[in-house]
Amino acid sequence: MNTNNEKLKNGIAEEQELLTLEEAAEYLCVSKSTLYRMLENNAIRGRKVGRQWRFLQNDLRQYLHRDSEQIAIESVNIEDVDSLTTAINEAASKLQIVIDPIDVNANAQEKVNYFISNLILISIQMNSSDIHLMPGKKVMSVKERVDGVLREICTIPAATAVAVISRFKAMVDCSIEEKQLPQDGRFSAKHNDDTFDFSASFIPTIYGESMTARRTLQGLPLMKLEDVQIQDDDMQRLRRWMKSPYGTVLFTGPTGSGKVTVLYAALREITSPSINTIAIEDPVMYELENVTHVSVNMRVGFTIPVALRAIMRHDPDVIVVSEIRDRDTALLTSQCALTGHLMISVLGVGSCLQGIKMLNDFGMERHLISESMTGIINQRLVRRICGNCRVKTTVSQDKIDEMRKMAGEGGYKMPEKVEFSRGEGCSECHGSGYRGRTGVYALLEFTRKIREAFNAGMPDEAIQKIAIREGMHTMAADGIRKAIEGVTTIDELMLKEII
């Protein structure tokens, strides 16, 4: 018994023993200069005895058992860590966004957290869709995509990248040690009692890991169809499609064009307790009342085609497929449409006619496409002129004449007298002249004449001319109309290659 007490006392005495700087460096297997830097970074605890540093062995042992995130932060010089707070404060000041000052006694961990929390705050305040950390040889570029345009917020020393990335990884429960394979995760941030959800993706590059954090749709208010700026006759056409008892309605456009948002705004109008609506999604973007949401799971083989075959035994009226990506999904979608179901789906293409071509490339026969298709809506997002700093601007007569011809060919007759606007740039739009985005649209309805032209193998230009004669407006025509109405600018339409 006495022996055990002596061992316990000896253990306590050993942990309480003060080691010199040289002994501590040898215990940690680091140089004395490195140990001094660790003290400056507040990475390890020490105490002054006279003019000399002394260390408790228990503190050293705790340091050796610290987590990976802490190790990554400690690898950065204190000057580089300080540059993070400088960079984010300068960025906020330039964007006229107020952030709280950092405690003068903050340690390295707190400074990294300060940088990240305020980077997210800036993203929320600017209503950006993505945060990008792009590593380079000397600096990491920090960017945010605002209204579809990538803007550099600041740059930070390349040496700090590992600490910042490691902190983000810890937030989404990704492995900090794994740096050779892509990883994904999710995190949430709160601001003014609102919760904002992000999905983060990490990929290895030659200069370290790159990260993109995309703001997800979960938790965001669902848009109403009347808030979508579609021309009245096109809106009536879309609503008629959505009330069809059968057929396929496709929402098309490139990545990030807002097609899923418009799809759910349209779907919201037709859902009711008397209609059995089932949505097959990868992943679930919105949750709607009176809709049964089915999430696919590729890892266990529960794919969209498998889910489609299964839900046909559940007596659906309306079926939503998150995206047509392969031949099986395309064929099953058309078969369901022909057997008395309204099929609604998404296709990532640049135009209505490209959507038809892609279905044909999937191996669908022309007659199957034309008979099962009700209509296709294609869209792009353009930046809206900031309402706070909108002013009139001049456009050359040659440009107006060019647009008049383009609009006329696209089904829109421009007024004789037209005016155009632009944003001067102000604090509300962070100097860009734009604030928010809106869509420009083109709707192709599969009328009898369109079906006949498509089945006959007529070229796209001929099919489009027939569609325009039957009331279609091209995307260029819709964009020009919105520019005349002061919604967007000619420069923005040209930048997005709409005109």
**Letter for the amino acid at 290?**
N
Closest Cα partner for 286 from 310, 267, 269? Answer: 267
pLDDT of residue 219: 57
Q: Token digits for 435?
A: 């604030």
Q: Token digits for 375?
A: 């209509």
Where do the domains of the chain lie?
2-65, 78-215, 225-495
- Give bridge partners of residue 2 from the DSSP assignment: none
**Rounded to the nearest 10 degrees, how much is the dihedral formed by the CA atoms of 446, 448, 452, 458?**
-50
- In the chain, the N- to C-terminal Cα span, in Å, equals 91
Closest Cα partner for 463 from 493, 442, 439? Answer: 442
Question: What stretches of 388-474 show up as alpha helix (H) in DSSP?
Answer: 397-409, 448-455, 460-469
Q: Is the pLDDT of residue 14 over 50?
A: no
Over residues 424-456, the pLDDT tens digits come to 999 888 889 999 999 999 999 999 999 999 999
Residue linked to tokens 């089904």: 411
Q: Token digits for 49?
A: 């005895």
Burial profile 8-20: b = 16 or more Cβ within 10 angstroms, e = fewer: eeeeeeeeeeebe
CATH number of 78-215: 3.30.450.90
Q: Which fold has domain 225-495?
A: Rossmann fold (3.40.50)
pLDDT of residue 15: 46
- The CA distances from residue 308 to 258, 278, 312, 324, 376, in Å, are 24, 10, 6, 12, 21
Q: What is the mean pLDDT of residues 106-114?
A: 89
Residues 498 and 44: their CA atoms lie apart, in Å, by: 58
Confidence of residue 316 (pLDDT cuts 50, 70, 90): very high
Q: Is the pLDDT of residue 403 over 50?
A: yes
Over residues 328-384, the pLDDT tens digits come to 999 999 999 999 999 999 999 999 999 999 999 998 899 999 999 999 999 999 999
Q: Do 344 and 319 meet the contact criterion of CB atoms below 8 Å apart?
A: yes
**Letter for the amino acid at 54?**
R
pTM: 0.76
Q: Is the pLDDT of residue 74 over 70?
A: no
Over residues 222-255, the pLDDT tens digits come to 788 988 989 999 999 999 999 999 999 999 999 8
CATH number of 2-65: 1.10.1660
pLDDT of residue 218: 64
Question: What stretches of 49-171 show up as alpha helix (H) in DSSP?
Answer: 57-64, 68-74, 78-94, 108-126, 161-171
pLDDT of residue 65: 63
Over residues 185-221, the pLDDT tens digits come to 999 888 888 889 899 999 999 999 999 999 886 656 6
Residues 227 and 293: their CA atoms lie apart, in Å, by: 24
**In angstroms, how far apart are the furthest CA atoms of the chain?**
106
Q: Name, in order, each residue with C-beta under 8 angstroms of 305's C-beta and a sequence gap of 6 or more.
A: 326, 328, 329, 332
Closest Cα partner for 172 from 145, 146, 199, 192? Answer: 199
Confidence of residue 12 (pLDDT cuts 50, 70, 90): very low
Cβ atoms within 10 A of the Cβ of 122, count?
A: 22
425 half-sphere exposure, CB direction, 13 A CA radius? 5
Q: Which residue has the higher pLDDT, 143 or 66?
A: 143
Residues 151 and 172: their CA atoms lie apart, in Å, by: 24
The conformation of residue 137, written as its DSSP 8-state character, comes to: S
Is the preceding omega at residue 101 within 30 degrees of 0, hence cis? Answer: no
Residue linked to tokens 């490209």: 354
pLDDT of residue 293: 94
The proportion of the chain whose per-residue pLDDT surpasses 70, expressed as a percent, equals 94
Q: Is the pLDDT of residue 9 over 70?
A: no
pLDDT of residue 16: 58
Residue linked to tokens 């020490």: 46
Residues 365 and 330: their CA atoms lie apart, in Å, by: 11
pLDDT of residue 386: 95
Q: Do 348 and 253 meet the contact criterion of CB atoms below 8 Å apart?
A: yes
The conformation of residue 302, written as its DSSP 8-state character, comes to: B
Residues 489 and 422: their CA atoms lie apart, in Å, by: 6
Q: Token digits for 275?
A: 């209609």
- Judge whether 78-215 and 225-495 match in fold: no
Q: Do 342 and 241 meet the contact criterion of CB atoms below 8 Å apart?
A: no
Over residues 50-73, the pLDDT tens digits come to 888 999 888 887 776 666 676 667
Q: Do 48 and 59 meet the contact criterion of CB atoms below 8 Å apart?
A: no
